[in-house]
Chains A and B, each alone.
Chain A
Amino acid sequence: MAETNIEAAQSDEPIIACKDVNKWFGEFHVLRDITVDVAPQEVVVVIGPSGSGKSTFIRCINRLEEHQSGQIMVDGIELGNDMRNIAAIRREIGMVFQQFNLFPHKTVAENITLAPMKVRGWSKDKAEAKAEELLVRVGIPEQANKYPGQLSGGQQQRVAIARALAMEPKIMLFDEPTSALDPEMIKEVLDVMKELALSGMTMIVVTHEMGFAREVADRVIFFDQGRIVEQGTPEYFFESAQHPRTKLFLSQIL
């Protein structure tokens, strides 16, 4: 059974532990009693219809959104109003956005080196060496001195991944990283993400790429109306999901 798999993955101390997390946008109850643990090196794919709260959920993990009740622990640190805790957690979490959000006034290399130098206090040389290494890893070493506006969408998203990795995070959050891309560019980004997953990075990925979920995920979580409706291994999820809402969703997208 799938349950055993999850328990196996959770046998380590969880690196992300969410307990009864609730969030409201005004009167709208967007996250309802979310309880999830993520183990180190686990790849979690979050799927669900628009407005189901999946993006809000991962944005709560690095405090881009504030949760109003419940507890989120990341790497043993509790996320609250303490700015020092937030800063410490953000240092350990990389995030990749749907719209890339590269800094348009800085070159690719500057985009990547900025945070390590300013936040981690690295020397310029060290940061640049790291940037070079990461650009090779994401397959675009020749673009280092271009501005983001001169790159294709797929290249920009790979730069965004490299930028997040430059901080040497323990966890990577992906918020629909391929949704703004042309179809022929999706693959190049997914390939980078697969490579990252294989290298043992802890990842939470919000995506509509079911192929990716099936191939890479350790666990798939299905969100609907702010709740976790069902979760399990990809095999379980895509072949024997139980909940009618999950079945309906899968029948619509597959």
Chain B
Amino acid sequence: MTTINEQHVNPLGAKTIVSDADAAHRKPPLLAVGPLAWIKKNLFNTVGDSILTIVVLFIVGSVGVSFVTWTVGQANWYAINFNIRLLMVGRYEPEADWRVTIVVLLTAFTIGMALAAWARMRLSHAIVLGVFVALTFIIPVVIYATLPLPPFYVAAGTAKIGSDSGPVPQDAVAFIAVAGETVSVRLADQFSGSDNKLSQLNSFADSASNGAMNAAANRLETEAQIAELTRLLAADSLTPNQRSRAEGELSRLEDSDPVVDTLKINQTPVHVTILQGSTMQALPDGDVVLTDPSQGMTVTLPEDGWYVLKKEVDDPEVIDLLETKGIYPILLRTITRGLDDTSSVVGSISQYVRMTDTFTTEATIPSDENGRRMPFVVVTSNQYRGTASFSDYLRLYVAPFLNQINVFLLVVSIVGTLGCVVGQLLDRFFSPSLRPRATSTRAITWLLVVVPILGFILIYGLTGDNGFLPITDTRRWGGVLLTMLLTIVGIIGSLPLGILLALGRRSKMPVVSTACTIYIELLRGIPFITVLFMAQLLIPLINPALASFPGAFRAMIATVLFTAAYNAEVVRGGLQAIPGGQDEAAKALGLNGLQVTLFITLPQALRLVIPPMMGNFVGMFKDTSLVAIVGLLDLTGMAQNIVSQTEFLGLRRETFMFIAIFYFIFSYIIAAISRRIESTGAGQAIKMQI
């Protein structure tokens, strides 16, 4: 408490008040600062606020719930897991993959060092990154160790399902597996007993089980309609007209017996055999007659390659539904390359690829006694009923996906961290104490010049077919590789061009300034897609010799020319923001016009425009997706290409959702880095100075 000492009362009656040296510190009242107070103040301050809060939360919540439900329960992400390579590098020559790897690592190193020089990275950042990368390794291990295998349902029997033209179960199905994996089979009794249960069949299923499920679902729907119409007719509240219509409707619907009864689901023992594909011999423990649901068969597979699941039912009227675990759908892929590692003879090779984790075998598919190839499990979207559970989602998609990217993430993170550490060590040993980041800044400047050039040479190639670094086919560039090439070439080309245009537009020489102004306004007045079309279509018209100029390069030129116009305006804005006194002071010192620009105004302007410039570059990164329209297979183009293949028909949503997430993560990282540079590094310094 503050005590007040009355020192004296002056003749005018005014008091001079001197308070104690230290008033006791008290905490503010809880209701004024606690979380409840925060909620009251920020979310429910007025009636209007409360309504707004509730409405917004409701919208966000319902959108979020349906998105998560779709992602986890219905979406079919194997198109992503299966096509990671296409999405990343397109059809880039696999023998030149190492070059891409080197470029990625160089880039990671450069970014690491740039962060050291400009963004004041701390140990905590490295720890967060380390935990994140470690999780990408730990999560799949935990998932594989603790979660059950996702089911795959197959039907056995010889009866036709649904109608006379309906599917008949196949008596055998071939699948591929890795040595040491287990496959288990049991009667799927959770779907027998009633049509209600049968209609719940989910996850992967062969077409016969699907047929059974659909038949059950259709029957339930018909029964429901019949019940509804009967109820309406009984209620006696219909007009004669409505009544006759309802009666007509009812007469069209047939009452039928439950599907589980007509198909006699799971009413007979089934003889199940698992054969090794190479020998067509049953595996030990792989030959069992399953009579009741409690009985199961589990087999450990001895080698990589093909296996066959045979199932026989004696009763021709019975369909048995089997739940198998450890069998996944397969895609057949035909590739062209040397027939073996040493041969230069090019041939067509069939590869069978497990969709969920891209385990690949080139072994010949087993045939039956008549020499016909065994059917194998293909899953198209109409055979996929969504994952049965969150556990299946994790096992089928999350774990394999993380396993595909975690090594890459680890290496990139290590090299990036290394770059950061090297930058900091350089500073510790070589930078003068007054300018603690001088050495890393100089090093990064050089890296930023050298790495892009070196990277482009590595990816494109240097010499003809047989020399060191053969030139790659630009038509095979695709996916993220092409997107990144377009972006980086776009940045490197458009920045200097933009600066020149900005200086030109500000020039006192009318010819230069008019020309630059016309260029800038022209390019800013044309949609990017139009510039791309012009680059693709008009260049050969201008000079037929340019017809063979690769489309990827044309897109790069278009990107540079287009973005430069926007960069020019940003740089011009920066130059205008530099006080006139800077120019005068420099001139008064005797510097000539070029020196004033080079040493005084431009460096300050460029630092000022880092944020909008980064915005331009993020915009450009996203705009590169437009090259898909002129036929290039960048990330977007590749996604389009993938969903138009028969195996992935109907997977548009998943594929485009994935690339959307990819674009977002990258844009966000660029934005976050630039924010950090602004707030801690070079940007902060300039803010303090101006």
Residues of A within 8 A of B (CB): 62, 64, 87, 90-91, 93-95, 97, 99, 101-105, 107, 114-115, 118-119, 145, 147-150, 160, 163-164, 167
Q: How far is the CA of A87 from the CA of B588 in the complex (A)?
A: 9
**Nearest 4 interchain pairs by C-beta:** A149-B689, A101-B585, A104-B689, A115-B589
Chain A residue numbers with a CB within 8 Å of B585 are 95, 97, 101-103, 160
Interface of A is mostly: mixed
Chain B residue numbers with a CB within 8 Å of A115 are 589-591
Chain A residue numbers with a CB within 8 Å of B469 are none
Chain-A contact segment, one of B12-20, B69-77, B368-376, B599-607: B599-607
Picked from A62, A119, A149, the residue with its CB within 8 Å of the CB of B690 is A149
A220 smallest CB distance to B (angstroms): 24
Contact with A along B673-690 (1 / 0, CB 8 A): 000000000000110111
Q: Is the CB of A147 within 8 A of B688?
A: yes
A149 smallest CB distance to B (angstroms): 4
Question: Quick check: is B507 within 8 A (CB to CB) of the other chain?
Answer: no
Chain B residue numbers with a CB within 8 Å of A62 are 588
Interface residues of B in 582-634 (CB under 8 A from A): 582, 584-592, 595, 599-600, 603-604, 607
Chain A residue nearest in CB terms to B433: A145
Q: Is the CB of A90 within 8 A of B607?
A: no
A159 smallest CB distance to B (angstroms): 12
Q: Is the CB of A118 within 8 A of B689?
A: no
Question: Quick check: is B442 within 8 A (CB to CB) of the other chain?
Answer: no
Question: Quick check: is B248 within 8 A (CB to CB) of the other chain?
Answer: no
Chain A residue numbers with a CB within 8 Å of B595 are 118-119
Q: Is the CB of B591 within 8 A of A145?
A: no
Q: How far is the CA of A145 from the CA of B581 in the complex (A)?
A: 22
Residues of B within 8 A of A (CB): 434-435, 579, 581-582, 584-592, 595, 599-600, 603-604, 607, 685-686, 688-690
Chain A residue numbers with a CB within 8 Å of B590 are 87, 90-91, 115, 119, 167
New A-B contacts (8) at CB < 8 Å, excluding given A64-B588, A90-B590, A114-B589: A90-B589, A103-B585, A103-B586, A104-B604, A105-B689, A119-B595, A148-B689, A164-B589
Q: Is the CB of A119 within 8 A of B584?
A: no
Chain B residue numbers with a CB within 8 Å of A93 are 588
Chain B residue numbers with a CB within 8 Å of A91 are 590
Picked from A105, A107, A150, A163, the residue with its CB within 8 Å of the CB of B589 is A163
Q: How far is the CA of A91 from the CA of B590 in the complex (A)?
A: 5
Known: A103-B582, A145-B435. A118 touches B599 (CB 8 A): yes
Picked from A87, A95, A145, A160, the residue with its CB within 8 Å of the CB of B592 is A87
B117 smallest CB distance to A (angstroms): 16
Chain A residue nearest in CB terms to B687: A149
Chain B residue numbers with a CB within 8 Å of A107 are 435
Q: Is the CB of B686 within 8 A of A104?
A: yes
Chain B residue nearest in CB terms to A90: B590
B439 smallest CB distance to A (angstroms): 15
Picked from A101, A118, A148, the residue with its CB within 8 Å of the CB of B581 is A101
B434 smallest CB distance to A (angstroms): 4
